Structure 1
Amino acid sequence: MVRRMKSDLPPLWNGKPRFPRRVPHAREVDYSDSAREAYSKLAEYARSRRDGQGEGKAGRTAADFVTTLLKKRFLSSPKAFAETISTHLETMTSRPAAPADEPPPSVRVLRPLIDGVEEAEEDSEQEQAEAAARALSAARQAMRPLTEREHTLLRELDAWAVAAGKRPDAKFARFQEWLDGVVCPAGPLGDWEPERVIVFTEYRDTQRWLYGQLIAAGCPAERIAQLHGGQDQDEREQVKQVFQESPGLSPVRILLGTDAASEGINLQAHCHRVLHWEIPWNPNRLEQRNGRVDRHGQRADQVDVHHFVPRGWQGFDPAHDHHTDSGYEDGALEDELHFLAVAARKTERIREDLGSAGEVIAAQVEQKMLGRRSSWTTADAEITKRSGRAALKVERDLARDLERLVDALTDSRQQLHLHPETVERVVRTGLLLAHRKDLTEVPDPQPARNARCFRLPELPGAWARARNDGLRHPLTGTERPVVFDEAEARDRTDVVHMHLGHRLVQMCLRLLRADLWSSGAGARLSRVTARVVPDGALRQPAVVAHGRVVITGSGGTRLHEEVITAGGLIEAGTFSAGRMEEVDGWLAEATEELPAESVLTELTGLWPRLEERLARALNTRANRRFRSLGTMLAERCEQEVEGMRAVLEDLGRSIRARLDDTGHWQQESLFDVDDERRQLRADREALLERLRRLPEVTEKETAALRRRWSDPSPRWFPVAVTFLVPRSLSMITRQENR
């Protein structure tokens, strides 16, 4: 099997790549002696706490949690570190240790509190502080008291964090230098370029600090937007809409986002630059952030991803992948920042098939930051093996399946006549029936695009709510014209696409369905029409009946539904059946023009002589269709059974591969304790049980699918009649009438 990366796909017709290149960039930072000294003290404190916990598993868990939290916050910003070191110092000194006869909290108690710290990162400031205080207080009870040296280290780190927040920051200085060159070369008080930048950070504290630093540097508040999980839904949606709009409509140039902004949203419309304020310890999170702009719809030829790195960094080119030695003392600030940059470089190399290889990278980062032995040499083989395995799994039959689905979509659109013109006719007819109003064609706001644009009429009540759904521009508040062709609405926000799911289209469809089957004096929609066709398509009148075919399975499940046609020529006042291909050709050539009134009168008079034979032709067509559908339905049943079995077989292979992954079941994690081992054993037993039950599940699902498709019951209903009249006949009749 040949592996296909995005970069391996052939270019477009004009020679341009199908996807933009992603280019990582390094922004070297020369850290101050004060920062290096502070980090050295933090590393000393972490070693002292780890080495002094003895064999107590809860104590080691608590110590590792504190180390992880403090190091992550230190590497993020002085503000984030100051908040955490202050809380930790307070909990370690102001609260007495638990009584000797009271057992310390177990890992089972610590784990939810520790997990809650990360979960609270997107909450309010008070909730974040409370979550950190709860976890650090519980950790205090599980750890031994501070030694005199440890107490001194914490006090010195606390004082440094407070002072660092008031001093110029080396990383922010490098950031501002780069940022000004992109968005405001003449300075924040000068002209701003129509360029945008996203800055991702892990912590809300850091996001606030960055905002304050930018404001203090003279950046106008209107140029900055913030996106984080603590915002209410309406505010978040407004920020996203503003950032996705053209820079000509919004002054926003800088988006400060926490990781909540990297979860499932699109930010690529007018931005191709991402800067990571800190490199996440989990490579999957790194990819989530990058994926907000490196995705389908990105207009730039290149996506630029920026990382802060220490002085002396070798580069992000894969040719440097074997350079993993930082050249700094083990555990020093620059050494650990270099290690994170190497992790980012390896993530970039395997990003398109990251899979479980990301777990290996995350484990290496964790081991390094906790001061345990860690080597990229031993990890590289496992990374390569896992990433390749993920690629093979994902790419299996992908091209074939994609081609099949595209063909099926195209066929469905043709069979159901799902064209822009059809949807437009549905809306026009619905508006005419309900309110005697119509669409108004208007010029395209972008004349070069030359799209067919329409203005919706004013409507009352529920129709007004459906009409106004998304009609106003989110920034300007002006009503936008609508289009019916998806291609004409692509990559623009100055028009609204009226698709099948739009509320107004749905209301029109419901109205048409109701009127189609209504009868009597209240009927507003006729089920009989006449249309003119060119002489080249038809030389004498014809009549076509339309019928609705419905096939239900066991229990009344609808298996299939379609509209069929049958028709023929009107010769000597009687019906002469035509071939299906002929009838389809006549209908395809029909115009919107109505025949002369005298022709309509004659056709009405002929209807009693045509009705019986036309109904017989439609019945014959329905019965033939039922027979052909029998084979098709049987094939669909088998396809669903085969698809279900393939999914369950893939699941079985995945479970077996996971069970065979001895490294996972023997992993050393941050919480390497009895509770964690018991959970791993429980996970393994659950997988074994699931694998054991797969044959039974397969048989049950197979039987259920076969029952669903069994005993198909066909029915058909006449729907409408269309008379087709050659243009020459209609014109002759008009002349005779004159």
Structure 2
Amino acid sequence: RDDDVARLSGTWLQRRAPQLTQERLAVNEALKALDWDRHRIESTAAEGWGTSEAMPPDARWETLAQWLRDHLRTGDDWRADERAVIFTEYKDTLDYLAWRMRRVGMTDPAVLTIFGGAESAQREAIKAHFSDPVHPARVLLGTDAVSEGINLQATCRYVVHADIPWNPMRLEQRNGRVDRHGQARDVVCWHFTSEDEADLRFLSHVVGKIDTARRDLGSVGTVIDTTVLERFTTLEHTPDRGEVDRRVAAIAAAAPDVQDMRGLDAGGLTENLRARQQLAVTEEALELHPAALANLLAQAVALEGGSLTERSDAPQIYDLREPPAWRALVTESLRLPQTRAMPKLVFDPMFFQERIAGRVIFRPRADVALVRLGHPIMRRAVAVLRRRLWDDPDGQMTRWTVAGQSLPGQIETVVILHIFIEATNALRETLHQDVVALPFEVRGNVLVPLDARLWEQVRLRPATPLPAAQLHDAATHLRDLWPAHETRLGAELDRFRQGQAEELRSMAAQRLTEELRETRTLFAERRRALERMRDPREQQRREREQVTIARQQAHLLQPALFPDVEAELAAEAQALHLRQRELDQVALLDHLTQLGALVDAEEERTITTILPQRYHLAEHAPTALPLTVTYWVRA
């Protein structure tokens, strides 16, 4: 393949040689001015870096060498607290920089190199060395192959761009190796610029624009990429820095992130802290705190033949012995990939927080796994407990609990009825599903509903096992009271279901009204969009856009090795394109007419059929089923 490229390129250049004479001479003169004569170039190409004679002066290398001395060195020694990643697009540039570093004593293991052709094991080894705080590595030279999949934020905060890629997304990928969650220090990214070179000033300006528009880079990245491409491939129009600013400003103003941050998500520190407080309250209300999650997993694995044990020497850290039926799931989602060892489990993300340089940093540990409600083993645990609620053949699940509690005031006993409630609509979709607790104070055979404010205080207090003697006496007494309690709780269950039915119907009716209004607004906007597409001015705008895109695509195809054939094909393609565009306009008008009819029909169906059924409770809804009965006795 390389031979074919050389042969075809050489043939093309030979045919075009008379037309390129001035350009060739200009390139030769520029190289001579930089002290790159023919002999030096040929000897370097034949012998490789490190074996040829001394290289000509290189201002970029001298600048980079001085930067390394200023930021990574103290005299002749490397600083222990700093490292840098140096990126380049090209393997040849990487080899050149590595050679330059060796010439001034910057060698392995202080300087590591990685590129696209490196084997996976080598990449992993270099990643491990550079991420290890005690390893002597201080500089990582890499091509853009290292800009994906390797995270270095734990030990490095400097990024140097030896060259600037045309694609702005690639620049962000490079920076993202160190500028990411878990970085404890300010990240600084460096690139070359020059007031003497217009193209380099232009690229430097692009880099600055990428940095200021980082939040909207997904929106403006294409615009920047296209502008850079125009700058270096278009002869008719060469964008300048001002045009970059205008294009980016126009697209960034309408970026989805900007629009989104004008809504409920906007705010400063006060709003952030308030949101954190609301999250903490919600976690407590839903019992998603670490102790509850650990208890849920412990109960599920015990039912399946496993165990979860808290370490006596390290509170909040647990050892898991997986149930036999969970082995494949645990291997896939928990065990360490290299050794297959079982990590320790924690349920509190605060375990991984460290304060470094005055900042709170989340630092994961390879030997400890964070388990939250969305983890695969927690989803398995929830599924086990749900199934056991209705299908418990070996009778391991009990719906009765008697425990001790530090009850307030004169309250001696509390009984809690847990209810599973589910409401479906006429389309058999689930509208509402919840587990509700109804608490009562026990006064002999009489049950008195517990005050809501008192219940909010009591329910968060931990329940504890009763001593054996007290448990025996309490259970005997409660068995005697149960017939009267069962009757009262059954009546409360019916009353609760009726109240829920009325509340849910009211909520469904209110939601139906809101949804009908939103739906009519949505379909009205769709009709307006179709009308805009019919507008001749809109069609002309689309045509101009198509012409611009076609011109850009044409530039991407240059230069051609066979220009005569290429010209004929281009002319034919242009004629076909024009004809196809005429046909597309006719088809578009027909399609818009059909779309208008479809929009009308869909609106009618949604408003008259789908939404009324969606917000109409099914017959006998909601369903309210008793789950468990818990007695709390004063401990």
Identity %, equivalent residues: 25
Q: 1:298-313, aligned counterparts within 5 Å? A: 298-300=183-185, 302-310=186-194, 313=195
Aligned to 1:7: none
3-state SS, counterpart of residue 187 of structure 2: strand
2:346 alignment partner in structure 1: 483
Deviation readout 1:407-448 (Å, 9 max, x if unpaired): 98667544432221110111222343334634132656xxxx
* One-letter identity of the residue aligned with 1:562: D
Q: Secondary structure at the match of 1:344?
A: helix
CA drift of 1:637 comes to 5.9
Kept in 2, the 8 Å contact 1:244–1:269? The answer is no
Distance of 2:453 and 2:89 partners within structure 1: 63
1:306 Cα deviation from its structure 2 partner: 0.9
Q: Secondary structure at the match of 1:429?
A: helix
**Amino acid in structure 2 at the alignment position of 1:376:** D
Q: Note if 1:395 corresponds to 2:259.
A: yes
The yes-or-no answer on 1:428 pairing with 2:332 is no
Residue 364 of structure 2 is aligned to residue 493 of structure 1: yes
Unaligned runs of 5+ in 2: 32-37, 354-361, 556-569
Q: Does 1:513 align with 2:386?
A: yes
| Structure 1 range deviating more: 633-642 or 675-684 | 675-684
TM-superposed deviation, 1:687? 9.7
CA drift of 1:500 comes to 1.8
Aligned partners of 1:453, 1:419: CA distance in 2, in Å?
12
Determine whether 1:696 maps to 2:599.
yes
**Using a 3 Å threshold, how does the CA distance of structure 1 residues 215 and 382 change in structure 2: closer, same or farther?**
same
Shift of 1:721: 0.3
The structural deviation recorded for 1:563 is 0.4
How far is 1:524 from its partner?
Answer: 1.1
Q: Say yes or no: does 1:91 pair with 2:16.
A: no
- Closer, same or farther: CA 525–666 of 1 in aligned 2, 3 Å: same
Q: Deviations over 1:4-32 (max 9, x none)?
A: xxxxxxxxxxxxxxxxxxxxxxxxxxxxx
Please report how far the alpha carbon of residue 589 of structure 1 lies from its aligned counterpart in structure 2 after TM superposition: 3.5
Q: Which of 552, 569, 572 is the equivalent residue of 1:669?
A: 552
1:268 aligns with 2:268: no
Shift of 1:529: 0.3
Say if 1:529 and 1:481 are closer, same or farther in 2 by CA, change over 3 A: same
The answer (yes or no) to whether the contact 1:197–1:274 under 8 Å persists in 2 is: yes
3-state SS in 2 of match to 1:400: coil
Are 1:200 and 1:259, in contact at CA under 8 Å, matched by a contact in 2? yes
Task: Find out whether 1:283 has 2:168 as its counterpart.
Answer: yes
Alignment counterpart, residue 570 of structure 1, candidates 442, 463, 478? 442
Q: How does 1:184-195 map to 2 (within 5 A)?
A: 185=74, 193-195=80-82
Q: State the Cα distance separating 1:629 from its structure 2 match.
A: 2.6
Partner letter of residue 304 of structure 1? V
2:616 is aligned, of 711, 717, 720, to 711
* Contact persistence 1:279–1:307 (CA under 8 A): yes
1:91 Cα offset (Å): 1.7
2:554 is paired with a residue whose SS is coil
* Aligned partner of residue 440 in structure 2, secondary structure: strand
Q: Is contact 1:197-1:271 (8 Å) kept?
A: yes
Q: Which moved more, 1:257-266 or 1:531-540?
A: 257-266
- What residue number does 1:366 align with? 229
Partner of 1:197: 84
Superposition map of 1:228-627 within 5 A: 228=116, 238=124, 242=128, 245=131, 247-248=133-134, 253-259=138-144, 261-262=146-147, 267-300=152-185, 302-310=186-194, 313=195, 326=196, 334-353=197-216, 358=221, 361-370=224-233, 372=235, 373-376=237-240, 379=243, 382-383=246-247, 385-390=249-254, 394-396=258-260, 398-401=262-265, 413-435=283-305, 437-441=307-311, 452-459=315-322, 461-467=324-330, 480-490=343-353, 491-494=362-365, 495-519=368-392, 522-536=394-408, 539-579=411-451, 582-589=454-461, 591-594=463-466, 595-627=470-502
1:358 Cα shift? 4.9
Q: Which residue of 2 aligns with 1:226?
A: 114
Q: Is the 8 A contact 2:415 2:629 kept in 1?
A: yes
Q: Deviations over 1:634-676 (max 9, x none)?
A: 5556777788889996998899899758874453425157758
CA contact (8 A) 1:566 1:614 kept: no
Report the secondary structure of 1:482's partner residue.
strand
> For the Cα contact (< 8 Å) 2:159–2:175, is it kept in 1?
yes
- For residue 227 of structure 1, report the CA deviation from its aligned partner: 6.4
Could you say what secondary structure the match of 1:561 adopts? strand
Aligned residue for 1:63?
A: none
The 1:710–1:511 alpha-carbon spacing in structure 2 relative to 1, beyond 3 Å, is same
Instruction: Single out whichever of 525-534 and 669-678 deviates more from structure 2.
Output: 669-678
Other-structure match for 1:99: none
Cα deviation code 1:190-219 (max 9, x no counterpart): 556243323333345655665676678653
CA distance in 2, matches of 1:523, 1:662: 72
Q: How many residues align?
A: 562
Distance 1:650 1:335, change over 3 A: farther
Change (3 A) 1:664 1:426: same
The amino acid of 1:92's aligned partner reads S
| Preserved CA contact (<8 Å) 2:333 2:376 | no
Amino acid at match of 1:513: R
Contact 1:652/1:691 (8 A) holds in 2:
no
Q: Distance in 1 between matches of 2:526 and 2:114?
A: 42
What TM-score do the two structures reach when normalised by structure 1? 0.62
Equivalent position SS for 1:337: helix
Contact 1:198 1:255 (8 Å CA) reproduced = yes
Task: Tell me which amino acid in the other structure corresponds to 1:525.
Answer: M
Is the Cα contact below 8 Å between 1:531 and 1:590 reproduced in 2? no
Q: Residues 163-174 of structure 1: matches in 2 within 5 Å?
A: 163=44, 166=49, 168=55, 170=58, 171-172=60-61, 174=63
- SS of aligned partner of 2:435: strand
| Structure 1 residue 386 displacement after superposition | 1.0
Measured in 2, the distance between the counterparts of 1:174 and 1:184 equals: 15
Deviations 1:458-488 (A, max 9, x none): 4464545544556567799976432211232
- Answer yes or no: is the 8 Å Cα contact 2:301–2:323 preserved in 1: no
Q: Which moved more, 1:505-514 or 1:467-476?
A: 467-476
In the other structure, the counterpart of 2:34 is: none
Offset from partner CA, 1:614-651 (integer Å, 9 cap, x none): 11112212321232233444555677778888999699
CA contact (8 A) 1:453 1:483 kept: yes
Aligned to 1:721: 629
- State the distance in 1 between where 2:574 and 2:217 align: 25
What is the deviation of 1:511? 2.9
By how many angstroms is 1:547 displaced? 0.9
